[in-house]
Amino acid sequence: MMLERLAPEQHDTLDEVPEPSENPHLFGHEQAASMLAAAYRAGKLPHALILAGPVGIGKATLAFHLAHYLLTNPDHRTAPEAFTAPNPQSALFRQVASGAHPGVLHLTRPQNDKTKGFKSVVTVDEIRKVSRFLSMTSHDGSYRVVVVDPADDMNTNAANALLKNLEEPPARTLFILIVHAPGSLLPTIRSRCQTVRLTPLDDESLLSALDSAGQPAPDEPQARAALVERAGGSVRAAILLTQYGGLEIAEALDRVVGNGHAGIAAAHKLADAVAGRDSSIQFDIFNRRALDLLADTASEAARNSDLPRAKALSDAWHDAQNAISETETYNLDKKQHVLAMIDRLNAAMRM
C-alpha cells in the first residue's frame, strides 16, 4: 500500500516511510511518555525539553505525540494519564503532519536553493521563525509547540538565536529539542531545558515499528537476528541496512579499511557505489559508518587506558565530521570525499 505523504520532504526523508509528524504509532518510550503526561497533569511541564538518544529510535515521533496530547487536552486537570494514538483521519492530525497547524512549528534543515537539496545545518533564518510564531496569539489558549529537529544541526548563530527564545518563553509554550548528542549543544541551552534520555528500542518494539512502517524484517531467522543486532534499536538504521544497501556498504568499508594499497581498487568501487548523483542516502550511510568506526575504535582505546590513542582518534572523528559538513555545504566532489575518508580511516587505525 502506498503511503499517503502529508509531511513536507526533509533532508532525511526515506521513501515510503512516514515522517515523525505523520506517524500515528509510537513504539517504546512508555516510561518517558508516562512521565511527561504526569508532569502536564500536575501543571509542572517544563517550558523546554531535550529528547536525547541515538538516531532513529523515535524521539521526534514522541515529540509530535506529546504535541497532540497537549493540543487535544488544553486543560491539564482533565488530561488522561497516558497519550492516546492520534486519529490519522482527524483535521488536527492532518494539519500537524502537513505543517499547517497554527500551534505547532517544526524547524529542521531548510532547502538549499542552489543545489536543490538541503542545507547541512539548521540556519538562523529557521530559528527566527520562532519569534513570528510566538507573536501570534493563540485564539483558544492552547499550547504552542516548537520542535527543533535535530537541534544538533544548529549552527552557532542559530543556537544563539534559540537561546534568546528560551530565556523568556511565553506561557503555555513548549520547546522540544530533538538531540542525538547532547554534548553538541551550548551549555547555556542545556541548562534551560529538562533532558529526557531515550534508550534504543528493544527487539520487540523495533520489529513492531518496522512492520508498522511497511518495512518488515526478513522472515529468515538468522537474517532477522543479524538485522536486529546491527540496527542497535534504531528503526532508521534497520531500514537503511535492509532497503538502501546499508549492510553491504558497511561491510565493504570495513574490508577496505586496513588493506592499504591492496584495497585501492575496492576503495574506488565503493566510492562509485555511494557517490553517484542519486545515491545521497548511500553517501550518508557511508559517512555514518566511517564516523562509527572512529568512535568505536576511540572507545576501545579508552577502555584499554590508551588515552593518547583515544585522543588522536577523537580528533580524527571531529576532522571527519568537519569534512562531511564541508562536502555537503559546498557541494564538493563526493567521490574524492569518499576516497579521502578511506585514507583518513586507514591513517587513524594505524595510530
Three-state SS string over 252-312 comes to HHHHHCCCHHHHHHHHHHHHHHHCCCCCHHHHHHHHHHHHHHHHHHHHHHHHCCCHHHHHH
Nearest to 297, CA basis, from 283, 279, 312: 312
Residue 272 pLDDT? 95
Instruction: Give CA–CA dist 86/64, Å, rounded.
Output: 10
Residue found under cell 559517512: 287
Residue 227 pLDDT? 92
Question: Does 1 score more than 60 pLDDT?
Answer: no
Residue 183 pLDDT? 86
- Looking from the CA of 319 toward its CB, the CA atoms found within 13 Å total 16
Torsions phi, psi for 175 (to 5 deg): -95, 130
Question: Does 115 score more than 80 pLDDT?
Answer: no
Residue 2 pLDDT? 65
Question: Does 332 score more than 60 pLDDT?
Answer: yes
Over the chain, what is the mean pLDDT?
Answer: 92
Interval 197-227: pLDDT, tens: 999 999 999 999 999 999 999 999 998 998 9
Q: How confident is the model at residue 259 (pLDDT cuts 50, 70, 90)?
A: confident
* pTM as predicted: 0.86
Burial of 156 by CB count in 10 Å (0-12 exposed, 13-18 middle, 19+ buried)?
A: exposed
Task: Give the dihedral of Cα atoms 176, 181, 184, 189; nearest 10 deg.
Answer: 30
Instruction: Give CA–CA dist 326/332, Å, rounded.
Output: 8
Question: Does 325 score more than 90 pLDDT?
Answer: no
Strand-pair partners of 148:
107, 177
Residue 66 pLDDT? 98
Residue 349 pLDDT? 87
Torsions phi, psi for 87 (to 5 deg): -85, 115
**What cell does 285 get?**
550511510
Interval 173-191: pLDDT, tens: 999 999 998 888 999 999 9
**Whether the bond into 221 is cis, omega within 30 of 0:** no
Cβ contacts of residue 44 below 8 Å, gap of 6+? none
Residue 261 pLDDT? 62
Most confident of 38-42, 245-249, 281-285, 326-330: 38-42
Instruction: Give CA–CA dist 170/165, Å, rounded.
Output: 9
Nearest to 190, CA basis, from 162, 221, 157: 162
- Rg of the chain on CA atoms, in Å: 21
Instruction: Give CA–CA dist 226/285, Å, rounded.
Output: 18
Residue found under cell 516511510: 17
Interval 75-102: pLDDT, tens: 999 999 999 999 999 999 999 999 999 9
Nearest to 149, CA basis, from 227, 41, 34, 59: 59
Residue 4 pLDDT? 87
Residue 117 pLDDT? 83
DSSP state of 155: -
Question: Does 260 score more than 70 pLDDT?
Answer: no
Torsions phi, psi for 213 (to 5 deg): -80, 0
